[in-house]
């Protein structure tokens, strides 16, 4: 008999003093406190093609939180970030910063969206030039920054640096600071990945500005939800043979959905996620965490997770 699946956190409902505003994203619940701090709770929701899927993935929120916390600590010397503490496996507390509504996408390789644009004949993506004669998954001579708008609803859209400045989304100085931080973070992420036998292919960073105007790295960093990794072993051989690269990311969920005729388009129905598939996603996220960090994941208790988080925050906030 197959054991039943652990519980999942699909929504947090925390009662905490000083909460001024609560925002619920596709995966995270965000609590803004009056004292200038923000509480980010990673749920077990999973999204793909801008759609939140109907079933949660056990321990996914823990994986994202603990991996992001690990990376925030490992890169703090490269760029200032918002994180202060992680009092629960699903929670990060940090400084409040108003989001700059641009996703700083850094690409080290011609993969994903960049490859689709390249294959369609485009050689400029978001103002960044891609050389002629490249094939899918080739390494760029230097990493490219290809920003996109951070949409409140619907899909993010490609945007150029000139358009960002023309729309007043940020100042020239802020843009230059975000570029400097993004490239430095990507370089450090690349180094950390190499130590684990991985290649950081592309990723996105989000930044916010504090009330004093300081630019901070916010949200998650170098997780399988926000980044694409290749296995380093065999990369060159696979490129020479024109074979697909072995990758480590959330792409396997998208591939499963596509195989079941779902891409988030109008009129399409989300395929049924049975226990076997849900369990396989948990196993894959756990594998990603352990490969990237080099640490074994110790599953947190899943009975009444909201109460567990409430107790942890009450203890931390005093």
CATH code at position 67? 3.30.200.20
**Does residue 267 belong to any structural domain of this protein?**
no
Contact by Cβ (8 Å): 270, 254: no
139 and 181 within one domain: yes
Looking at residue 50, its pLDDT comes to 84
Among the listed residues 92, 83, 87, the one whose alpha carbon sits nearest the alpha carbon of residue 41 = 92
160 shares a domain with 229: yes
Tell me the average pLDDT across 15-29: 94
What pLDDT does residue 1 have?
Answer: 28
Q: Domain limits at 229? A: 99-248
3 state SS of 236: helix
93 and 112 part of one domain? no
* Residue 167, in any domain of the structure: yes
Give a yes or no: residue 41 inside a domain.
Answer: yes
Q: What is the CATH number of the domain that holds 114?
A: 3.30.470.20
Per residue in 251-281, pLDDT tens? 889 889 999 999 988 899 999 999 999 999 9
pTM for the predicted model, two decimal places: 0.92
Residue with tokens 């939800």: 225
Name 184's bridge partners: none
Residue 12: inside a domain: no
pLDDT surpassing 60 at residue 67: yes
Does residue 193 share a domain with residue 149? yes
Q: Is residue 145 part of a domain?
A: yes
Q: What total of structural domains would you count in the chain?
A: 2
pLDDT higher than threshold 50 for residue 94: yes
Question: What are the angstrom distances between the C-alpha of 159 and each of 8, 124, 148, 184, 283?
Answer: 36, 11, 5, 21, 36
Task: Please tell me what DSSP assigns to residue 264.
Answer: S
When the pLDDT of each residue in the chain is averaged and rounded to a whole number, the result is 94
What letter does residue 81 receive in the DSSP assignment?
B
- Residue pair 79/215 in contact (Cβ under 8 Å)? The answer is no
- Each residue of 171-195: pLDDT tens digit? 999 999 999 999 999 999 999 999 9
Taking CA atoms, 84 is separated from 2, 93, 158, 218, in Å, by 40, 6, 32, 11
113 and 69 assigned to the same domain: no
In this structure, are 87 and 203 located in the same domain?
no
Give the C-alpha separation, 100 to 79, whole Å.
16
Residues 147 and 56 in one domain: no
Per-residue pLDDT, 249: 85
225-244 per-position pLDDT tens digit: 899 999 999 999 999 999 99
pLDDT band at 2 (very low <50, low <70, confident <90, very high): very low
* Tens digits of residue pLDDT in 31-52: 999 999 999 999 999 998 889 9
In a domain, 302, yes or no: yes
**80 pLDDT above the threshold of 80:** yes
Residue 293 lies inside a defined structural domain of this protein? yes
């Amino acid at each position: 008999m197959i054991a039943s699946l652990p519980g999942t956190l699909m929504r947090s409902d925390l009662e905490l003093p000083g909460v001024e505003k609560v925002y619920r994203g596709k995966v995270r619940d965000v609590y803004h406190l009056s004292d200038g701090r923000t509480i980010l709770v990673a749920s077990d929701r999973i999204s793909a093609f801008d759609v939140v899927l109907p079933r949660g993935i056990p321990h996914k929120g823990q994986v994202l939180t603990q991996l992001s916390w690990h990376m925030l600590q490992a890169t703090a010397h490269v760029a200032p970030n918002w994180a202060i503490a992680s009092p629960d496996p699903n929670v990060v507390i940090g400084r409040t910063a108003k989001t700059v509504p641009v996703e700083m996408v850094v690409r080290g390789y011609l993969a994903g969206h960049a490859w689709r644009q390249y294959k369609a004949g485009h050689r400029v993506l978001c103002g960044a030039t891609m050389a002629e004669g490249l094939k899918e998954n080739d390494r760029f001579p230097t990493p490219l920054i290809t920003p996109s708008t951070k949409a409140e609803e619907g899909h993010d859209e490609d945007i150029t640096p000139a358009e960002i400045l023309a729309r007043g989304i940020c100042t020239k100085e802020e843009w230059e600071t975000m570029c400097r931080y993004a490239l430095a973070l990507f370089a450090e992420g690349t180094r950390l990945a190499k130590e684990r036998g991985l290649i950081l292919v592309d990723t996105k960073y989000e930044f916010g500005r504090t009330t004093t105007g300081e630019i901070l790295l916010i949200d998650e960093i170098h997780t399988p939800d926000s980044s694409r990794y290749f296995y380093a072993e065999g990369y060159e051989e696979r490129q020479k043979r024109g074979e697909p690269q072995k990758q480590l990311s959330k792409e396997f969920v998208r591939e499963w959905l596509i195989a079941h005729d779902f891409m988030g388009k109008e009129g399409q129905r989300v395929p049924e996620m049975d226990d076997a598939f849900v369990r396989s996603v948990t196993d894959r996220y756990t594998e990603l965490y352990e490969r990237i960090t080099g640490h074994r994941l110790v599953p947190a208790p899943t009975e009444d997770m909201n109460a567990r988080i409430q107790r942890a925050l009450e203890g931390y906030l005093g």
